[in-house]
Structures are given as C-alpha cells and as structure tokens.
Amino acid sequence: MDIVKKIEAILFWKGEPISRKKLSEILKVEDAEIDESILKLKENLKERGIVLVEKDNEVMLGTAPELSELFENLQKEELNKDLSKSTLETLSIVLYKNGVSRSEIDYIRGVNSSFTLRALSIRGLVEKITDPKDSRRYIYKPSFELLSYMGVKSVEELPDYGEVSNSINVAAKSLEEEIRKAHTM
C-alpha cells in the first residue's frame, strides 16, 4: 500500500501531532521516504478542506485556513449545545481518573476519543498536560473551571468517587497488563 495513504490514515486516526521519526518507526521505512511522502501528501491536499500542518518535526492534519469562518461558527454552535453521551462518558473518565492518557480513555470506552477530548479542551473542561512519566504522551485532567462549575473543590468530592475511581483504575490496570504482554511477545 502507498506510504502517502498510510501517513494520511495515521494522521486522521491519531488526531494529534506525530513526529516524522515515529511515522518512520510505525511504517518501517527510512526517514527520507517519510519526508518524500509528506511532501506528496501536502501536494495531494492542495485545494481541499484539509491541510498538513507541520511544527518542530511533527505533522498533523488540520483544516484549511480559508475555512476558518465556517469552523468558528460551528465551534460557537458546538459550545452552546448540550454534551453528548460520548462526551459525558469521556468527561466522567477524566474526572474520576483525575489524570488519564488518551489510550486509557480509548480502552475504557472501546472507541477513539481524540475528537471528544479535543471538544472538551475547546470548551475548557479538560486540560492536556505532558505526562511526567513519559514525555511522549499527554495526560488529560479536569480543568479548574470544570471543578468550579460543578461546585466541588476537588475530584474526591464527586459522588461515589472512591467506588467509581476504583472501577476505572481496574480497567486501566487491565490495559497496562495487555500492553506489557504485547511488548514481551
């Protein structure tokens, strides 16, 4: 399969920046082939609604700048509507886990949560910080605004915090064990 198509699919699926080096590792090709394929992808996306965004040797898909007014209107509309079931699920995991990676959220929910996390970030309900244990990934935490809006001083004041948090932690430990087993095979 064409490397350009694979890069585009990875960037779409990931929904966040990824380094050229990581793309090279995933696709098991040389850096030069990644660079060449990224140039082709950039060319393929001309005159489309999606563009390739590059920063500090990382790439991601973004929307074309000329569509900014459209997305500004959509964002205003999105911010004014009620939270969906999937958004509430994700928000609950972030609240009760009080620091969780996207992969853990995806595992617990069973679906990709990139867009949901992005929407929550845009609304100011969650914050994304670099994981202190692994600088290559991010941790999502409830924002001060969310806690304030909910009328709690800390996540421990949430209803049934201990019980729900424990259930989520059990699911997260299961994920860690699966990952560990996969890496030792």
Residues 94, 161: one domain?
A: yes
Identify whether residues 112 and 162 lie together within a single domain: yes
∠ CA 120-124-129, nearest 5°, is 80
Identify whether residues 39 and 109 lie together within a single domain.
no
Per the domain annotation, does 72 fall within a domain?
A: no
Do 41 and 90 belong to one domain?
A: no
126 and 177 housed in the same domain = yes
The residue among 65, 9, 71, 14 whose CA lies nearest residue 41 is: 9
Q: Judge whether 164 lies within some domain.
A: yes
Is pTM, for the whole model, over 0.85?
no
Residues 102, 53, single domain; the answer is: no
pLDDT at residue number 56? 85
Q: The domain that contains 141 carries what CATH number?
A: 1.10.10.10
166: which 2 tokens? 């424990």
> According to the model, what pLDDT value does residue 139 have?
93
The tens digit of pLDDT for each residue in 49-87 reads 989 999 888 999 988 888 878 877 776 666 566 678 888
Q: Where is the domain boundary, 66, 92, 119?
A: 66
> Considering 40, 66, 92, which residue would you say is the last residue of a domain?
66
Distance CA(155)–CA(153), nearest Å, equals 7
What's residue 90's pLDDT?
92
Cα–Cα distance for residue pair 138/128, rounded to 1 Å: 6
Q: Give me the mean pLDDT over the 111-139 stretch.
A: 88
One domain, residues 60 and 87? no
Domain of residue 150, residue span: 82-184
Tell whether 87 and 128 lie within a shared domain: yes
The number of beta carbons lying within 10 Å of the beta carbon of residue 105 is 23
